[in-house]
Amino acid sequence: MRVIVDFDVCQSNALCMTAAPEVFEVRDDGFLYVLNETPDESLRDKVLEAKRLCPTQAITVED
Amino acid sequence: MNTIVIVGASLAGLRGAEMLRREGYEGRIVLIGAEQHLPYDRPPLSKQFLAGSMDWENVTLRADDGLDVDWRLATRATGLDLQRRVVNVESGGSAEDVSFDGLLIATGAHPRMLPGLPELDGVFVLRTADDCLALRDALAAGPRVAVVGAGFIGSEVAATCHGRGLDVTVIEALPVPLGRAIGEDLGRRCAQLHRDHGVDLRLGVGVDGLVGTGRVEGVRLADGSVIPADVVVIGVGVAPTTGWLEGSGLDLADGVRCDQWCRALAGGQPVPGVVAAGDVARWDHPGLGEAIRVEHWTNAVEQGQAAAQVLLHGTAAPTFDPVPYFWSDQYDTKIQFVGRTGPDIMVVDGSLDDDRFVVAYGRDGRLVGALGFSRPAVVMKHRALIASGTEFPARM
């Protein structure tokens, strides 16, 4: 699984961080950092929930 | 269960349909939408899509791959018969009954209008993509804009119009914008945001009527003064779209009354196989101990998913117990709010005089909410703290 964020679209709403904090972190500078672009399969449900909760549809998950 | 009908082809309905498939439901899903469009995202309609900086392609909601749905677009639900378990629909002048085993009601809400306003060109509401396109066309001519209502839609439209270089006046009957949603103190801070950008904000004054014949020329205020305007946007809130449910037997009380599992109630009892989600649903929030209706994006996603699980699993599914969240982008500021307001307020990050800060709300010694200006990480940490019952003031 590969996590791709379109940073032109991301607005740092930080909802992804609440769904999958292991993978997404919005830092004090207001920017999103992807902590792990190829997270373990065990995180799939959390990552997909983060994708669904993103208000700007900035997250893509590829297999 | 062979057929699940979802009435309302927007965010809650779509995310509900996806959840049905994820949970392994292989039967038929009929998704009924009054608009002609496939599901799309409404937040950009008052922001980037209205500004012209986002394409329609990016406004369209992406669905899960392989979502097998029987789309019934440009089709309006007109009634619900719980005895025969059919939804009455109308499309292109012909009526039909659509049978269901399970039903998800997600018809959302529609704009309220001020009573007694004459029908004039140049007066707009903003809820649908078609509303947005009509308003966007009108803004292209460089009009003077008056916005009635300084809620989320009104404030965002004002900010977007300002960003397009237009002269904007905002009229709000209440003493501060967004007071009901975020409290008076922070509402005052939001008023400052408009004024910092040179938007003319008139607070605590009602609208008496519109000026003009055939085409609007201005807004007449209760104090007798007139705000000249070529375009008037009415943003005075929405009402849940429940007209088609009148007489169905479902309990309607500013929304479809639901229990803690989002199951629709009739005579106070849950109706088997009928749930509601999104702007239209007023459900018993377990944590708050009261029935609430939430008109925000994240709630539509989460409640659509939760209600779909209940359709399949009944009360073996979790109750719907979210910490509400909403955001609003105005000018260059991202306003985010989690939870609810409380009587106790404390600045926990920055200062109210700054462009960026976070305020926490407390009630009875518990952290119940937080609001931030352009501090997403700090606000989102509070969402988890609220859910875990943290004391107020919270120790970060």
Alpha helix (H) residue ranges in chain B: 11-22, 48-51, 56-59, 129-139, 152-163, 179-182, 184-196, 297-313, 376-387
Report all structural domains of chain A as residue ranges with CATH numbers, in order of start.
2-62 (3.30.70.20)
pLDDT of res. B210: 97
Q: Which residues, other chains included, contact B251 with Cβ-Cβ below 8 Å and sequence gap of 6+?
A: B257, B264, B265, B266, B267, B268
Our CA-based measurement puts residue A56 at a distance from the nearest CA of chain B, in whole angstroms, of 9
Show the CA angle centred on residue B175, arms to residues B393 and B282, nearest 5°: 65
Closest chain A residue to B349, measured at CA: A28
Please give the ipTM for the structure prediction. Answer: 0.91
pLDDT of res. B225: 96
B113-236 belongs to CATH 3.40.640.10: no
Say if residue A17's pLDDT is above 60.
yes
CA–CA gap between residue B150 and residue B206 (Å, rounded): 12
Reported pTM: 0.96
What does the domain layout of chain B look like in residue ranges?
3-110+239-316, 113-236, 332-387
pLDDT of res. B281: 98
Maximum distance among all Cα pairs of chain B, rounded to whole angstroms:
62
A14·B15 Cβ contact <8 A: no
* Protein fold of B3-110+239-316: FAD/NAD(P)-binding domain (3.50.50)
Mutate to test the interface with B, among A24, A28, A46, A51 (most CBs of B within 10 A): A28
pLDDT of res. A28: 86
Residue numbers of chain B with a pLDDT score lower than 50: none
pLDDT of res. A56: 92
CA–CA gap between residue B201 and residue A6 (Å, rounded): 36
pLDDT of res. B356: 95
Q: Which stretches of B296-353 are assigned E, i.e. beta strand?
A: 325-330, 333-339, 344-350
Asked if the C-beta of A60 comes within 8 angstroms of chain B's C-beta atoms, the answer is no
Asked if the C-beta of B41 comes within 8 angstroms of chain A's C-beta atoms, the answer is yes
Our CA-based measurement puts residue B121 at a distance from the nearest CA of chain A, in whole angstroms, of 33
CB pairs under 8 A between A and B: 49
Dihedral sign (CA B100, B101, B102, B105): positive
Q: Which residue has the tokens 């509070």?
A: B382
Please tell me if the domain spanning B3-110+239-316 has the same topology as the one spanning B332-387. no
